[in-house]
Amino acid sequence: MIRRARIPDAKKIHSLLTLYSRDGLMLPRPLSEIYEHIRDFYVFEDDGEILGTVCLLICWEDLAEVRSLAVDEAAGGRGIGRKLVEICLSEARELGLRRIFALTYKVDFFKKVGFHEIEKSELPHKIWSDCIRCAKFPECDETAVSIELY
């Protein structure tokens, strides 16, 4: 079941994200940031256990980012990641957002969901709000992907 994240989920979300950030597959997110943005997160829960998470962060009037997508390694291959991205796209449509993007090392996964590669320079709001504070800036090795909803 996919549902909105709640405050008690924050530590499990943080734990999932930390596993991937230790391997360099995503940027680390401090627990305080997860609490601040808990309303932007979804979780995939199965039998009371959180197996995956994702965040839809609105960047501008027509732009949002799918970020912090993580699925418990033991639950991989069950389509949980795809379902989490799809719930973000559904919410984005409801909100009237036109374009959704992600920065990722898993380009093929996002392509299967309908995204396509773009240049990071097409995301000035992201670059000047988040990327400029990142330790990898300006030598980011993630790939930007995007999907148009309309």
Mode of pairing for the β-strands spanning 49-60 and 63-71? antiparallel
pLDDT at 22: 86
CB of 62 closer than 8 Å to CB of 24: no
pLDDT at 114: 97
pLDDT at 25: 80
**pTM for the model:** 0.90
Q: Which residue has the tokens 């940027």?
A: 27
> Which among 43, 31, 62, 68 is positioned nearest to 146, based on CA atoms?
62
CB of 120 closer than 8 Å to CB of 144: yes
The half-sphere exposure of 79 on its side-chain side, counting CA atoms within 13 A, is: 6
CB of 26 closer than 8 Å to CB of 14: no
Q: How many Cβ atoms sit within 10 Å of the Cβ of residue 82?
A: 14
Residue ranges of the chain whose pLDDT lies below 50: 128
Segments making up each domain of the chain, as ranges: 2-148
The fold for domain 2-148 equals: Aminopeptidase (3.40.630)
pLDDT at 133: 55
Distances in whole angstroms, Cα of residue 83 to Cα of each of 36, 67, 114, 136: 24, 14, 13, 29
CB of 144 closer than 8 Å to CB of 122: yes
Q: Which residue has the tokens 């709001």?
A: 125
CB of 92 closer than 8 Å to CB of 114: no
CB of 83 closer than 8 Å to CB of 2: yes
pLDDT at 52: 97
